[in-house]
Amino acid sequence: MIISGNNPAHVQQAVDALCAGELLGLPTETVYGLAADASNESAVAKIFKAKGRPSSHPLIVHVASSDCVPKFANDVPDFALKLMAKFWPGPLTLILPRRAERAAAAAGGQNSVGLRCPSHPMALEVLEACAAKGVWGVAAPSANQFGRVSPTTAAHVQSEFGPALLILDGGECEVGIESTIVDCTRGVPVLLRPGQISRAQIEQACDLKLVNPEALNSEAPRASGTLESHYAPTAKLRLMRTEEWQKALAALGPHAQNLALWSVQKPSHDLRGAGLFWRAMPSDATQAAHDLFSVLRDFDTRGVHTIWIETPPDTPEWEGVRDRLKRAAA
């Protein structure tokens, strides 16, 4: 059931559900989350079950502010404090050393915990109300079936989990791709997942160089969003340079069938028969990130068999979008 985040009674209903160990579709500024009380083992088990996600894959725990961090983490390094001060509330997740016995199931049994304070006002409202009732953290992976496209509207969430799930409608997610994840448990900041907050911004905020996980020889923690194949639509997705799709489309001519194209360049119109769906890719990376998952879902809804996407520029502001597209195409 979708309830309105603008209605205080509905927000209260969402808070009550979480505090009672129920699941909730929670809006955040990045994507919608499938939320549950992070300290309630059976509630957390419901998340893994509903998503079909292996229970060893850790979930992000959402908190109302950095004041809640000591409830879940200890030995927080200085550079992590700087990142919190700079980017929270906002689309940044920090992996920190986990306090023994805290949120063990949500953390997938790892000795670290991923914490994030989201900036969506309705998410903050829910988290603050939960904290006031002693629910200090809310575990929430993206509200999609394991490996599938993340949801950026309440309707997307409902299409993943059906009408029985309580979903707080907070409108369209502003950012559109998941938070940047920085591992702060290795002495140096390690970028586990690129997002809207860029490498340069992180390095500047903590005055340290960001390390890539491949550069460390220790075993990286299991992270769904870092699997080679993830965020996949049903249709087959191919990344193509402009000249590539233009040539391929010219070769198909009027025979294009069940084909979708997301590109900055518009295809020459005599080729756009009933068999080709085209959507304009914004030339601005922030806007493209905002549109990405809803475009993939839209193409899937139209039942296309193949999706061609113009390869984004190889520049820092496109890193998050490029990362999601690479995994969606794998």
Give the integer Cα–Cα distance in Å for 62 and 55.
Answer: 18
Helix (H, G, I), strand (E, B) or coil at 247: helix
The torsion angles phi and psi of 204, rounded to 5 degrees, stand at -70, -40
Residue pair 150/293 in contact by the 8 Å Cβ criterion: yes
Complex with ligand TXA: residue 151 or 312, whichever CB lies closer: 151
Q: Which amino acid is at 133?
A: K
Q: Which amino acid is at 78?
A: D
- Pick the piece of the chain touching ligand TXA (CB under 6 A) from 91-99, 152-160, 208-216, 314-322: 91-99
140 binds ligand TXA (CB under 6 A): yes
For residue 40, the minimal CB distance to ligand TXA (Å) is: 17
For residues 92-111, which are near ligand TXA according to CB under 6 A? 93, 95, 107, 110
For residue 60, the minimal CB distance to ligand TXA (Å) is: 5
For residue 21, the minimal CB distance to ligand TXA (Å) is: 19
DSSP secondary structure of 66-121 = GGGGGGTB-S--HHHHHHHHHH-SSSEEEEEEBPTTSSTTTTTT-SEEEEE----H
Number of residues that bind ligand TXA (CB under 6 A): 30
Mapped to the 3 state alphabet, what secondary structure does 116-158 carry? ECCCCHHHHHHHHHHHHCCCCCEECCECCCCCECCCCCHHHHH
For residue 98, the minimal CB distance to ligand TXA (Å) is: 7
Complex with Mg ion: residue 142 or 196, whichever CB lies closer: 142
Binds ligand TXA (CB under 6 A): choice among 77, 221, 233, 320? 221
- Token readout for 166 is 């309580």
Give the integer Cα–Cα distance in Å for 35 and 27.
Answer: 10
Q: How many helices (H) and strands (E) does the chain have?
A: 9, 14
14 binds ligand TXA (CB under 6 A): no
153 binds ligand TXA (CB under 6 A): no
DSSP secondary structure of 281-329 = PPSSHHHHHHHHHHHHHHHHHTT-SEEEEEPPPSSGGGHHHHHHHHHHH
Complex with ligand TXA: residue 56 or 242, whichever CB lies closer: 56
Residue pair 154/237 in contact by the 8 Å Cβ criterion: no
- Pick the piece of the chain touching ligand TXA (CB under 6 A) from 36-44, 137-145, 198-206, 233-241: 137-145
Residue pair 238/303 in contact by the 8 Å Cβ criterion: no
- Interface mask (CB under 5 A) for Mg ion, residues 124-143, using x and -? ------------------x-
179 binds Mg ion (CB under 5 A): no
For residue 146, the minimal CB distance to ligand TXA (Å) is: 9
- Token readout for 215 is 């550069």
311 binds Mg ion (CB under 5 A): no
Length of the chain: 330
- Interface mask (CB under 6 A) for ligand TXA, residues 165-184, using x and -? -------------xx-x---
For residue 26, the minimal CB distance to ligand TXA (Å) is: 7
Residues contributing to the site for ligand TXA (CB under 6 A): 28, 30-31, 33, 57-60, 91, 93, 95, 107, 110, 112-114, 116, 118, 140-142, 178-179, 181, 192, 221, 223-226
Residues contributing to the site for Mg ion (CB under 5 A): 142
